[in-house]
């Protein structure tokens, strides 16, 4: 397949890049962090979404070198913002199951954080619920090692998988991200509001912080704030930004 062939050369040709989407502190309104989102600037197709190429890369194993590139690039970007005198801010990186289980994530993260002199808690790893299904024991062991490094761990797209709170309780995680499908329905559906309310309450009782994703409107933001949700992310606040734009977002206003 053509895309697969071209993906092989995407890293060396520097066609991959990251965009950074702001996360906002819902109660205080300040910038709380960025989520790094992967993009491929294809020479002829334009910008290709990870939804198109991550599944291909997962299948052919390229997801492992892509994951290395991702972690390195995000951490280098943090170091470069820091060197420019900008405030230190958490940056989250998405890791697929295969990236997490096949590569040496622990070694890579440890090495990169030391080299860039970044405080480990500023790096967040967003993992999906399905990750732990693939190989529960190994996932748990890797999560514990990352946690021991001081890295922040987050479960992404929460509510779309099958994990129970009982199961969640066993995971060494810091944060939950509520899937955008719930956020989307909140304003019009009291069921969706009740679900979000329950997720936030239970997460807090487990000492987890909660992030809502896919916030697109003021009424959604308001409804979320009322649940006590900690952080929010979505087009309402900002779309994903190029590194330079994200840097300006970090700089204190005039």
Q: Which residues contact 154 (CB under 8 A, 6 or more apart)?
A: 92, 124, 125, 126, 127, 173, 174, 175, 176, 177, 211
In whole angstroms, give the CA distance from residue 56 to residue 63: 8
The site map against ligand G for 198-217 (x = CB under 6 A) is ---------------xxxx-
The residues with which 241 forms a beta bridge, in sequence order, are 20
Q: Which residues contact 85 (CB under 8 A, 6 or more apart)?
A: none
The least CB distance from residue 234 to ligand G, in Å, is 3
Among 96, 154, 163, 197, binds ligand G (CB under 6 A): 96
Please give the sequence-ordered ranges of beta strands (E in DSSP) within the chain, or none if there are none. Answer: 16-25, 31-42, 46-48, 91-94, 123-128, 152-158, 175-178, 209-212, 231-232
The site map against ligand G for 121-160 (x = CB under 6 A) is -----------------------------------xx---
Tell me the residue nearest to ligand G as measured from the CB. 234
- Which one, 117 or 188, has the nearer CB to ligand G? 188
Helix-then-strand count for the chain, H and E: 12, 9
Under rule CB under 5 A, residue 156 binds Na ion: yes
- The dihedral over CA atoms of 127, 133, 134, 136, expressed in degrees to the nearest 10, equals 90
Out of ligand G, Na ion, Mn ion, none, which partner does residue 175 contact, by CB within 5 to 8 A per kind? Answer: none
Under rule CB under 5 A, residue 156 binds Mn ion: yes
Under rule CB under 6 A, residue 6 binds ligand G: no
Under rule CB under 5 A, residue 126 binds Na ion: yes
Contact 151, 114 (CB under 8 A): no
Site residues (CB under 5 A) for Na ion?
94, 126, 156
Site residues (CB under 5 A) for Mn ion?
156-157, 213
Site residues (CB under 6 A) for ligand G?
21, 37-38, 49-51, 54, 70, 94, 96, 156-157, 180, 213-216, 234-235, 240
């Amino acid at each position: 397949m053509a895309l697969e062939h071209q993906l092989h050369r995407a890293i060396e040709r520097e066609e991959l890049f990251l965009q950074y989407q702001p996360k906002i502190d819902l109660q205080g309104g300040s910038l709380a962090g960025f989520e790094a989102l992967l993009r491929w600037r294809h020479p002829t197709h334009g910008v290709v979404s990870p939804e198109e190429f991550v599944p291909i890369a997962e299948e052919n194993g390229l997801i492992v070198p892509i994951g290395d590139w991702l972690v390195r690039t995000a951490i280098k970007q943090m170091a470069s913002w820091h060197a420019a005198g900008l405030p230190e801010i958490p940056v989250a990186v998405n890791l697929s199951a295969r990236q997490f289980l096949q590569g040496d994530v622990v070694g890579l993260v440890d090495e990169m954080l030391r080299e860039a002199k970044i405080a480990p808690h500023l790096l967040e790893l967003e993992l999906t619920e399905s990750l732990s299904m693939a190989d529960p024991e190994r996932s748990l062991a890797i999560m514990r090692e990352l946690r021991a490094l001081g890295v922040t761990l987050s479960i992404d797209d929460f509510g779309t998988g099958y994990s129970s709170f009982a199961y969640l309780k066993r995971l060494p995680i810091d944060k939950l991200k509520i899937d955008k499908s719930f956020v989307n329905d909140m304003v019009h559906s009291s069921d969706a509001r009740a679900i979000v309310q329950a997720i936030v309450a239970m997460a807090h009782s487990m000492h987890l912080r909660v992030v809502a994703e896919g916030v697109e409107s003021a009424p959604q933001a308001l409804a979320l704030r009322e649940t006590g949700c900690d952080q929010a992310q979505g087009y309402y606040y900002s779309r994903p930004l190029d590194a330079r734009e994200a840097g300006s977002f970090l700089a204190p206003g005039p």
